[in-house]
């Protein structure tokens, strides 16, 4: 790098650092002013300021490393995640004391029955981002390593590395082979191409190994719970209270509601409103429910068939439609629309991407969905789907700091 280029880099770093400092002050101010409030507006303000701060840090990182070094940063990330997965399978996360005290490489290698040299080489990559090394080759937990002990987080990590990281690496090969366009076939897409599923869909393939399917489900449930804050984006009680209801009125049908975590939260949000709450999913899914769901009716239903509940006030579908291509989504929506009346409304709780400047989560989630023909959508794309299903988009509810939202629709 010549002097002029180096000075330009210093200027870029200085500007980025100033923005990070400003963003940090803003984040601290918002936290102080929110006072730990749990209302949606306060959560949104904190989330937005944190998102802005992280964006600034990413800009600072790019400026500090420069264009060439950022290419190698991608290789570093691959090596890091590979090392973490190996250490996870090795058992180091469980072996290290939870009180933060350290263990030597000798002790760990002996107790885990692994080669000491291999352990040290893997830990060399994971320190200090993940583990601490207070003394040479003495390792201890940090908050960043302990989070992997949570079954849902661990399941999500294994799922992304085991199922989707290889798929991302094969994207170019798939598109060269099948054409440069978004995949639409459930049996011919980047996922099935990479895993050589022999005619099985992604959904069928992950069920082949019952033990792995449990991990897969744990990851999906963890992600659903992690984004459960978005359920309250729609004012269920306020809207339902505007209508006269009885104990027999069907207030909400949670279509494809899984194990009922969201349904239970919706029920709480409908507090004091007379009426019924129905959880729908395939019978085999409902059989796996172990949690008590008081005052929630369970109903076996496949959303690729007409909804058996006629005239509910709200049909609610959350984190389902992004799994499917446009054709299947229209079919699912038509099977809900055919049971709606003029007083019914449909709520789609999903990511609603902006037309530009999508956040990191929205972008990588869309890419992940694409590998098996799914899609994260913009408001315009949601509107197009609804129109094709005989529905009209009425309003999109959202909050600052996240692309998660609720799309409200009625019959046309």
Please give the chain's pLDDT, 412 residues, in tens: 789 999 999 999 999 999 999 999 999 999 999 887 878 888 889 999 999 999 999 999 999 999 999 999 999 999 999 999 999 999 999 999 999 999 999 999 999 999 999 999 999 999 999 999 999 999 999 999 999 998 888 888 888 888 899 999 999 999 999 999 999 999 999 999 999 999 999 999 999 988 888 877 777 877 788 788 889 999 999 999 999 999 999 999 999 999 999 999 999 999 899 999 999 999 999 998 999 999 999 999 999 999 999 999 999 999 999 999 999 999 999 999 999 999 999 999 999 999 998 988 999 999 999 999 999 999 999 999 999 999 999 999 998 889 999 999 999 9
Are 41 and 178 part of one and the same domain?
Answer: no
Would 81 be classed as within a structural domain?
A: no
Select which of 141, 150, 322, 403 is catalytic.
Answer: 322
Range of the domain at 306: 233-411
Are 349 and 252 part of one and the same domain?
Answer: yes
pLDDT at 309: 98
Would 51 be classed as within a structural domain?
A: yes
Would 83 be classed as within a structural domain?
A: no
Provide the greatest CA pair distance for the chain: 77
Are 179 and 133 part of one and the same domain?
Answer: no
Q: Can you give the CATH number for the domain in which 347 is found?
A: 3.40.50.150
pLDDT at 255: 98
Would 76 be classed as within a structural domain?
A: no
Are 187 and 261 part of one and the same domain?
Answer: no
Residues 6+ apart with CB under 8 A from 98: 141, 146
Q: Which among 223, 243, 266 is the end of a domain?
A: 223
pLDDT at 390: 98
Would 78 be classed as within a structural domain?
A: no
Are 186 and 323 part of one and the same domain?
Answer: no
Q: Is 322 a catalytic residue?
A: yes
Residues 206 and 201: their CA atoms lie apart, in Å, by 9
Would 177 be classed as within a structural domain?
A: yes
Q: Which among 178, 205, 223 is the end of a domain?
A: 223
Q: How many domains does the chain have?
A: 4
Are 157 and 247 part of one and the same domain?
Answer: no
Residues 341 and 76: their CA atoms lie apart, in Å, by 55
pLDDT at 153: 86
Are 311 and 246 part of one and the same domain?
Answer: yes
Are 155 and 180 part of one and the same domain?
Answer: yes
pLDDT at 123: 98
Would 73 be classed as within a structural domain?
A: no
Residues 124 and 379: their CA atoms lie apart, in Å, by 45
What is the token pair recorded at 368?
């992940």
Q: Which among 223, 254, 271 is the end of a domain?
A: 223
DSSP 235-253: -HHHHHTTS---TTSEEEE
pLDDT at 344: 98
Are 273 and 181 part of one and the same domain?
Answer: no
Are 249 and 393 part of one and the same domain?
Answer: yes
277 touches 314 (CB < 8 A): no
Are 58 and 188 part of one and the same domain?
Answer: no
Are 237 and 189 part of one and the same domain?
Answer: no
Would 130 be classed as within a structural domain?
A: yes
């Amino acid at each position: 790098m010549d002097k002029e280029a180096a000075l330009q880099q210093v200027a870029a770093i200085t500007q980025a650092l100033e923005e990070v400092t400003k963003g940090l002050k803003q984040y601290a101010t918002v936290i102080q002013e929110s006072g730990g409030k749990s209302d949606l507006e306060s959560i949104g303000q904190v989330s937005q300021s944190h998102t802005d701060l992280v964006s600034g840090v990413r800009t600072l990182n790019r400026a500090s490393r420069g264009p060439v070094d950022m290419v190698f940063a991608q290789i570093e990330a691959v090596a890091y995640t590979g090392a973490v997965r190996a250490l996870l399978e090795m058992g180091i996360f469980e072996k290290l004391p939870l009180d933060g005290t350290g263990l030597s490489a000798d002790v760990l290698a002996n107790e885990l029955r692994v080669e000491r040299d291999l352990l040290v080489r893997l830990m060399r990559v994971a320190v200090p981002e993940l583990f601490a090394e207070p003394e040479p080759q003495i390792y201890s937990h940090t908050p960043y390593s302990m989070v992997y002990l949570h079954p849902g987080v661990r399941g999500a990590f294994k799922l992304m590395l085991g199922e989707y990281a290889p798929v991302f690496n094969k994207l170019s090969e798939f598109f060269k082979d099948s054409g440069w366009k978004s995949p639409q076939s459930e049996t011919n897409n980047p996922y099935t191409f990479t895993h050589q599923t022999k005619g099985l869909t992604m959904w069928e393939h992950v069920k082949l190994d019952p033990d792995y399917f449990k991990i897969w489900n744990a990851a999906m449930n963890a992600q659903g719970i992690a984004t459960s804050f978005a359920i309250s984006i729609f004012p269920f009680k306020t809207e339902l209270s505007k209508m006269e209801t009885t104990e027999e009125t069907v207030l909400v049908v949670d279509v494809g509601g899984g194990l009922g975590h969201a349904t239970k939260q919706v029920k709480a949000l409908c507090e004091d409103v007379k009426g019924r709450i129905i959880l729908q999913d395939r019978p085999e899914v409902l059989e796996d429910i172990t949690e008590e769901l008081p005052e929630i009716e369970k109903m076996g239903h496949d959303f690729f068939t007409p909804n058996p509940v006629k005239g509910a006030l709200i049909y609610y579908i959350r984190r389902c439609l992004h799994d499917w291509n446009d054709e299947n989504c229209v079919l699912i929506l038509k099977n809900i629309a055919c049971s709606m009346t003029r007083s019914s409304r449909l709520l789609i709780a999903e990511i609603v991407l902006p037309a530009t400047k999508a956040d990191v989560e929205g972008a990588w989630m869309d890419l992940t969905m694409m590998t098996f023909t799914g899609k994260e959508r913009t408001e315009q794309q949601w509107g197009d789907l609804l129109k094709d299903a005989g529905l009209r988009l009425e309003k999109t509810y959202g909050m600052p700091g996240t692309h998660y939202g609720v799309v409200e629709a009625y019959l046309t």
